[in-house]
Structure 1
Amino acid sequence: MHLTAPATRRTGIRDTDGMAVASFILGLLGLLVLNLFLGPIAIVLASIALWRGTNRRGRALLGLGLGIADLAVLLAFMQADHTVSWSF
């Protein structure tokens, strides 16, 4: 009986769950600050978590949606101000 295989699998799932939560948090923060950087990072983390089969699929999907929303907000403010940066 191999005891190392299930432990490795649990670590992998725990890592993907962490990626899903991190993508959600970074996507949420990206709506307020640094959306140019945090949006793409949230998208990448959510995509990797979904690809690896996370147990927190809902959070990964929210992180993906928020990452895309970060870039949409950036684009909207760029169109309105004709600049790359924006502030409140």
Structure 2
Amino acid sequence: MTMNATDTALRARAAAAEDEATAKAAGKPAAETPTAPAGKPRSAPAVRQADGLAVASFVFGLVGLLALNLILGPASIVLAALALHRGTTRPGRARLGLALGVADLVVLAWLVSADQTWSWSIG
């Protein structure tokens, strides 16, 4: 099994989180900021924010398939790209949000070509 840089980074973050949990359980002070594999300090709120972006991307993409796909599709794509760039611990959810955002735009293009208008309705 080959590991890419993302897998290595995820395993390093998981190990750091496990070490921090062990230190808290033992009553020892944990490090204030976990470090990324490249040695750059990464704060826990930034990772949590990236995880939130990944979840929001997924939700926007899913809802965008049904309504407001002109707005929610591009928003889902942007949020997924930001989450992946910031190193989310949920890359699968971010990639799924990216795919759903693209699907939103494909559905919109199909509906526009079928009706020859930007507005569409079911039925």
> Given the two structures, how large is their TM-score scaled by the length of structure 1?
0.92
Instruction: Spell out the pairing of 1:39-78 with structure 2 (5 A cutoff).
Output: 39-78=73-112
Q: Which consecutive residues of structure 2, in runs of 5 or more, have no partner in the other structure? A: 1-30, 35-41
The separation in 2 between residues aligned to 1:33 and 1:40, in whole angstroms, is 13
- Superposed structure 1 runs of 4+ greater than 6 Å apart: none
Q: Does 1:37 align with 2:71?
A: yes
Counterpart of 1:51, as a letter, is H
Percent identical pairs in the alignment equals: 58
Question: Which position in structure 1 is the counterpart of 2:6?
Answer: none
The separation in 1 between residues aligned to 2:107 and 2:78, in whole angstroms, is 18
Q: Which consecutive residues of structure 1, in runs of 5 or more, have no partner in the other structure? A: none
* Structure with higher helix content: 1
1:5 CA displacement: 3.1
Please point out which of 55, 73, 80 is paired with 2:114. Answer: 80
With a CA cutoff of 8 Å and minimum separation of 6, indicate the structure with the bigger relative contact order. 1
1:9 CA displacement: 1.2
> Given the two structures, how large is their TM-score scaled by the length of structure 2?
0.66
Counterpart of 1:71, as a letter, is L
Residue deviations 1:59-85 (CA, integer Å, cap 9, x gap): 000000000000000000000000012
Give the aligned length.
Answer: 86
Secondary structure, aligned partner of 1:5: coil
The separation in 1 between residues aligned to 2:117 and 2:105, in whole angstroms, is 14
1:4 CA displacement: 4.2
| Higher Rg of the two aligned structures | 2
